[in-house]
Structure 1
Amino acid sequence: MRKPYRDYSSYLRSLFGCRVHKITIDAGLTCPNRDGTVGTRGCAYCNARGSGTGAAARGIPIADQIQSAKSYLARRYKAKKFLAYFQSFSNTYAPLPKLRDLYGQALSDPDVVGLTIGTRPDCVPDPVLDHLQELSRDHLVWLEYGLQSAHDRTLERIGRGHNVARFCDAVERTRKRGLPICVHIILGLPGETLGDMLETARFLARQDIQGVKIHLLYVVRGTLLHEWYSQGKYRCLEREEYVEACAAFLSRLPPQVIVQRVTGDPHRQELVAPAWALEKQRNLEALHRYMDEKGLYQGKCWKPS
């Protein structure tokens, strides 16, 4: 079934002519919103262990992380090539020599055709971007920037530790080097209306970005958001609300933007709410069905500036 948006796997297949899959790498890095540089607790929704696998804490080298994942992904998905996805916390937040070593370890595997580097827009000094530009001459290199919302009041509310202007600066400097950018946004943030979420979509449509990841805000145990939820200060979106918001968001994005994700992926043991967030396939089917019924598709409501 053709998806009503430009999906990531089709984009990768068009580049490499085969199934390409991400391998999540845990490099053991941290975040300025946790180490005291701009904050001490992280964003209101952030899991204390980040989105990583814990492999770095267990002392598993990057080469071993890749080898183990390659075997599984080749069997399960028939993947032939791989991208090393530095995911947990801020993966440009370290001295350049250390980053050179980490990225080099990942790219030393002949089946790894590129890097995807998750980070914050306030953690990309020019020397790091220069190095990534060098690597991009022979590999596919994407930067993934967590923005979450185009509203400074929301970023302050969730303790993000940077503003929208820092994001715009990072985008400008990254694109000057020809590096593609994927932006993470979250639907259902505290205090935001559907109109606020769609304004974020319109904001992104005006930026020089190449991809987007749309996440559902869910409540993880032990977070500040968990406290707000327990105190009745935060209400999760219902599935129907999320589907409507996500469909409207996608319809306002330019058709060339690559949609890498359209929902969250919580850990069952850590999820507090909403329970439906665990039903990934059902959520995808609901989104696709809604967009089909409403005649919506990526770019339908986009207006070129």
Structure 2
Amino acid sequence: MDNSMRYNDFAGFLAGEFPFKVQKISVNAGFTCPNRDGTKGFGGCTYCNNQTFNPAYCRDDRSVTMQLEEGKRFFARKYPQMKYLAYFQAYTNTYGELELLKRMYEEALAVEGVVGLVIGTRPDCMPDSLLDYLEEVNRRTFLLVEYGIESADDRTLERINRGHSFACTEDAVRRTAARGIRTGGHVILGLPGESREDLIKQAERLSELPLTTLKMHQLQLIRGTRMAHEYALHPEEFHLFSADEYIDLVIDYVEHLRPDLILERFVSQSPRELLIAPDWGLKNHEFTDRVKKRMKERDAWQGKAYRKADGHKNS
């Protein structure tokens, strides 16, 4: 960790991987999810509305190449020398026939200026046959496979209709990392029924996994989701953090994380027209600046309270 930083940030991680600036471009390849199409269930996760993270250029009626080229035009105005990572983000991007998946990924890698892939998926959608192929991809280009973990508590996973257990997450992360592939995770802090103590335990459990990167964000209630309906009926079952409350929770969480984990982000911004709550009026970079300031005030740093699985505190 850089001595001037109190946590390992994603920008520093990318700077160590590439000798030039890189930017992720989101791609919607038209995938669905096993708990939307009836394989495991219908309706998807209770909090999910994919409109919250798809930029305007990212529509599944256009080819992967077209989406990447439009994304490149958007960013190249400001940074002409920028290179790009194709970020397969919407829904479950390993949920399909192997040959179709290969064609999608190879199409992205063939676009000029694309120097790697980030593939967002679920822990229950990573067969060994796909890992065989991704292991080969990883030998020739940058690859990060990012799993939606969301929670380490099976009761929570069931409540949000996730369709898999935490044991499934552990298995997928370990199988992926064992291939030498950079492996990321994504969690939501503040899901109903989870206390601060539960989340600290979650940080400790995730630290035992061979994750390279971790994204976290606050629970957001989004219009048109089943969770928004649940909140309307039973608001007492939800705790929606103020910005300052959430900053202190994030810092507590980060202090219990393994010191070498790369922390990609702390918050997510949903479109104002879709967001019910909480609406803090802060951009991601403004929130991150407040986290850094508060960490300095608290003399906090990543891993400060981390204990290895054998019970020894990190030194």
**TM-score scaled by length of structure 2:** 0.92
Match of 1:283 in 2: 287
Cα distance in 1, alignment partners of residues 113 and 107 from structure 2: 12
Per-residue deviation at 1:16? 1.1
* Cα distance between partner residues in 2 of 1:2 and 1:74: 30
- Does the Cα contact within 8 Å between 1:28 and 1:56 map onto a contact in 2? no
Task: Provide the secondary structure at the position in 2 that maps to 1:302.
Answer: coil
1:171-210 CA-to-partner distances (Å, cap 9, x unmatched) read 1211221111110011110011001111110001111111
> Which residue is 1:271 aligned to?
275
Q: Go from structure 1 to structure 2 and tell me whether the alpha carbon gap of 1:137 and 1:17 turns closer, same or farther (over 3 Å shift).
A: same
**Equivalent of residue 207 in structure 1, options 209, 225, 229:** 209
Once the two structures are TM-superposed, the CA of residue 71 in structure 1 deviates from its matched residue by: 2.2
Tell me the percent identity. Answer: 39
Aligned to 1:247: 251
Q: Is the contact made by 2:58 and 2:67 (CA closer than 8 Å) also made in structure 1?
A: no
CA distance, structure 2, for counterparts of residue 193 and residue 265 of structure 1: 23
Which one is further off, 210-219 or 254-263?
254-263
Structure 1 match to 2:43: 41
SS state of the match for residue 77, structure 2?
helix
Q: Tell me by how many angstroms 1:147 deviates.
A: 0.7
Tell whether 2:201 aligns with 1:196.
Answer: no
Describe how 1:287-302 pairs up with structure 2 within 5 A.
287-302=291-306
Selected match of 1:63 from 65, 69, 77: 65
The alpha-carbon deviation at position 281 of structure 1 amounts to: 3.4
Report deviation, 1:272: 0.6
Residue number among 109, 112, 126 corresponding to 2:111 in the alignment: 109
Tell which deviates more after alignment, 140-149 or 277-286: 277-286
Matches of 2:161 and 2:49, distance apart in 1: 14
Q: For residues 31 and 58 of structure 1, do their structure 2 counterparts lie closer, same or farther at Cα, with a shift above 3 Å needed?
A: closer
Q: Distance in 1 between matches of 2:182 and 2:103?
A: 22
- Which residue of the partner structure matches residue 159 of structure 2? 157
Inter-partner Cα distance in structure 2 for 1:143 and 1:168 = 14
Gaps of 5+ in 2: 310-315
| TM-aligned CA distance change 1:71 to 1:95, over 3 Å | same
SS of alignment partner, residue 154 of structure 1: helix
Instruction: Report what 2:179 is aligned to.
Output: 177
Deviation of residue 243 (structure 1)? 0.6
Question: Within 2, Cα distance between the matches of 1:278 and 1:47?
Answer: 21
- Partner secondary structure for residue 214 of structure 1: strand
Unaligned runs of 5+ in 1: none
Q: Distance in 1 between matches of 2:81 and 2:232?
A: 42
In 2: Cα distance, 1:69 partner to 1:2 partner:
33
